[in-house]
Amino acid sequence: MHEAVFMEPQITGKILVLDDNEDVLIAAQMLFERYDFKVEVEKDPEKLIPTLKRKRFDVILLAMNYTRDASSGREGFDLMTQIFDYDPTSIVIPITAYGDVEMAVKAMKIGATDFIEKPWKNERMLATVSSAIRLGNSRQEADSLRSKQEQLSRDIDQSYTQFIGQSEAIQQVFKVIDKVAETDANVLIMGENGSGKEFVAREIHRRSHRRNEVFLSVDLGAISETLFDSELFGHVKGAFTDAKHDRKGRFEVASGGTLFLDEIGNLSVSLQQKLLTSLHSREITRVGSNNKIPIDVRLICATNMPLLEMIEEKTFRQDLFYRINTVEINIPALRERLDDLPLLLDHFISINVKKYKKKIRRVSSKALKRLQEYRWPGNIRELQHAVERAVIMSDGDILEPEDFFLSSSKASSGNSLDLSDYNLESVEKMIIERVLQMRHGNVSHAAKDLGITRTSLYRRMEKHEL
């Protein structure tokens, strides 16, 4: 009876065969070379590690029994241990003539990928080796992706190390971060747009025991009601028209780490109920499935909206507020921590001087005075962009007042509004900016002057990035 013909594998690789039987080595070499594998053979066990130091192999076929000890497999186990001590990622397949199941099980426990019995069948040998090479390639791809993800996380974290300051207001924030970071308490971060809410969230994660797990940021203001369930809880294939594959939701992906829900005040009451249910049960159900999946996340939420006032107006659930607000952190607006302005200016100038290869050293005293008088409706984010633009546009080594373009400079220079632009969106933004400046940032008073509710004003401020 003829042996079944083995279809040529779609993958090849480098193989090392170690056996003290020369006939075995010749047979293995002829078989693998027929299918374009690169093969190296070795009879002497003492040369195994030197060979591995000289070249890396995709698969190592290792005889378990040698002349010195022909049946116990002890030499094979010793050699396998040496291989994994040298390179824990090695793919090792033991081969033995004795069909000892106990020996094979022990080898697998040590780290063997599979095993081959002598005399082998060519089809089985080629299939086993090809599968092992694919496994090794998959591990390398996974390691590469993991390394890229770790580097990406480091790069993202690096860009979020700019939450600095020495003012008393910001030092109070640092004290709260110090106390809460090592706990798993849910945190609610309150603050205006651009004030640094995500900086605080990442700093809490970086100092927590979950620091080596994922930090996942979700902008709830950017997720529509129709996509909420799928985005946060995931879905199974066929759950809806475009659900061609199973997909994990944000809660599942972040499990074990930290989930940052930004702009939580934008959620409708019905979506707040869905979120509350998952937080209470600590489990989610994918869309289209009935299976409950446990989740383990450290929850940090943030908003620029007045949740307590929204609770009174019945637009935010009180029970959800208490669920997400074990500890509350209030971030001061930049206009409330102007003592930090020189420090922040030096920081952003240093970054952008390197980025754009400029020789700017500092801001002039006149420029600093103008910046200190400005209300900074966009907070740290606006300052960062203003400095970057000034560095790009400046021709000198000192930044002067004219180098800075401040969005509200026209509105703050007099009592009249510049209506040269009749675009409704632009006029609305200009009026809101002016009223906020007149009311020194007091949203309640500004909303009353504008004849709208505080919630409506917050939504307009968010729309215009004020």
Per-residue pLDDT at 2:
47
CA 74 to CA 68: how far, in whole Å? 10
Q: Letter for the amino acid at 319?
A: D
pLDDT for residue 261 is more than 90: yes
Q: Report the share of the chain in percent with pLDDT over 70.
A: 86
Per-residue pLDDT at 109:
83
Give the Å distances, CA to CA, from 434 to 208, 233, 409, 413, 438: 41, 42, 10, 10, 6
Tokens of 95: 């081969």
pTM above 0.85, yes or no: no
Can you name the residues that pair with 389 across neighbouring β-strands?
A: none
Give the Å distances, CA to CA, from 288 to 237, 375, 411: 8, 50, 53
Q: Which residue has the higher pLDDT, 95 or 162?
A: 95
Tokens of 179: 């106390």
**CA-based max dimension of the chain:** 101
- For residue range 300-349, list pLDDT tens digits in order: 999 999 999 899 989 999 999 999 999 999 999 999 999 999 999 999 99
DSSP H stretches of helix in 87-117: 101-110
Residue 411 — pLDDT band, cuts 50, 70, 90?
very low
CA 297 to CA 276: how far, in whole Å? 14
Q: Letter for the amino acid at 168?
A: E
pLDDT for residue 4 is more than 70: no
- Torsion angles phi and psi, residue 444, rounded to 5: -60, -45
Per-residue pLDDT at 415:
44
Residue 397, SS3?
coil
CA 27 to CA 14: how far, in whole Å? 16
E strand spans, 346-437: 362-363, 398-399
pLDDT for residue 100 is more than 70: no
Tokens of 445: 């008073």
pLDDT for residue 17 is more than 90: yes
Which CATH number does 14-139 carry? 3.40.50.2300
Residue 215 contacts residue 202 (beta carbons within 8 Å): yes
pLDDT for residue 95 is more than 60: yes
Per-residue pLDDT at 9:
46
Per-residue pLDDT at 272:
95
HSE value, Cβ hemisphere, 13 Å, CA-based, for 294? 2
Per-residue pLDDT at 451:
81
Per-residue pLDDT at 160:
45
- For residue range 144-203, list pLDDT tens digits in order: 665 555 555 555 555 445 568 889 999 999 999 999 999 999 999 999 988 999 999 999
pLDDT for residue 435 is more than 90: no
Enumerate the domain spans of the chain. 14-139, 160-332, 335-403
Per-residue pLDDT at 267:
92
User: Which residues have a Cβ under 8 Å from the Cβ of 244 and sit 6 or more positions away?
Assistant: 237
Mean pLDDT of the chain: 84
Third-level CATH fold of 160-332: Rossmann fold (3.40.50)
34-48, 372-386, 420-434: segment of lowest average pLDDT: 420-434
Per-residue pLDDT at 69:
52
Per-residue pLDDT at 276:
95
Helix or strand run (H / E) with residue 276: helix 269-281
Q: Report the share of the chain in percent with pLDDT over 90.
A: 45
pLDDT for residue 1 is more than 50: no
Per-residue pLDDT at 146:
59
Give the Å distances, CA to CA, from 432 to 221, 334, 435, 438: 21, 18, 5, 10
Please indicate whether the domains covering 14-139 and 160-332 agree at the CATH topology level: yes
Find the mean pLDDT for residues 269-295: 93
Residue carrying the six token digits 């909303």:
447
Find the mean pLDDT for residues 225-237: 90
**CATH architecture assignment, domain 335-403:** Orthogonal Bundle (1.10)
Give the Å distances, CA to CA, from 460 to 269, 389, 418: 19, 26, 20
C-alpha torsion sign, points 444, 445, 448, 449? negative
